[in-house]
Amino acid sequence: MTCRDIAGRRWVYAGSCLLYAIFNIGCAFPRSIAQIIVFSFLSGVAGSTAVTNIAASVSDMFPYAYAGQAMALFVVSANVGPSVGSPIGEAVAENLGYHWWYYINIIIAGTFAIILALLPETQPSVVIVRASAPGDPLAEKIRQRRKGLNVAKEMWFVTSEAIKIFFTEPIVAFLGIFNGFAYGLLFLYLDVSPPCLGEQVC
């Protein structure tokens, strides 16, 4: 039982999108290359929520028979996006200026934050508690679990389980290694960004 089991996933997603938009404002109006680096890191942290929660959201919204296809679409988008985004980002920078990388992120993230805040909750425990009649045994059981919430213990459980799954499930291990290689290669090419941006913002 984690904090998202109490408040629901909707506000986790909406809050993360809002923070992502705010941190991109820091990137869009930099006074130094250091500011871009710091706010880019913070933007990445805020934007990582989807990667860590999407599997649970997919299982909420799709029957088991179709959850695999939905998850596959997300994995494709997560891997194809950075590859397609690089040439598009270059075209945007050449024609509109590199500031528009962040303006576009702000617009999209802000729009998604509003949309996500208006969508219905999908977290089962939250939905059950809100929809249950007084005295419902399942809802009462969920409420009792919430009272005994230990954040440190839950964080340790989630972290240890992730490491365990990585070393015991081949498909997870191969996907993790592939993503690490793909993103590592991508960001090696992006090493040229600091000197190029440095000439413009420093």
> pTM for this structure?
0.73
Rounded to the nearest 5°, which phi and psi values hold at 98?
Answer: -65, -20
- For residue 62, count other CB atoms closer than 10 A to its CB: 14
Query: What is the residue extent of each domain of the chain?
Result: 3-201
Residue 81: both structure tokens together: 């996006």
Write out the chain's pLDDT in tens, 202 residues: 455 556 678 888 899 999 999 999 998 888 888 888 899 889 988 988 877 788 778 887 888 788 888 888 887 877 787 778 778 887 888 888 888 888 999 999 999 999 988 988 877 777 777 777 777 787 777 777 777 677 788 778 888 998 999 999 998 899 889 878 877 777 666 655 555 555 555 4
Burial class (CB in 10 A: 0-12, 13-18, 19+), 35: middle
Which residues neighbour 200 within 8 Å (Cβ) at sequence distance 6 or greater?
98
Which CATH topology does 3-201 take?
Growth Hormone; Chain: A; (1.20.1250)
What is the rounded CA–CA span in Å between residue 105 and residue 85? Answer: 12
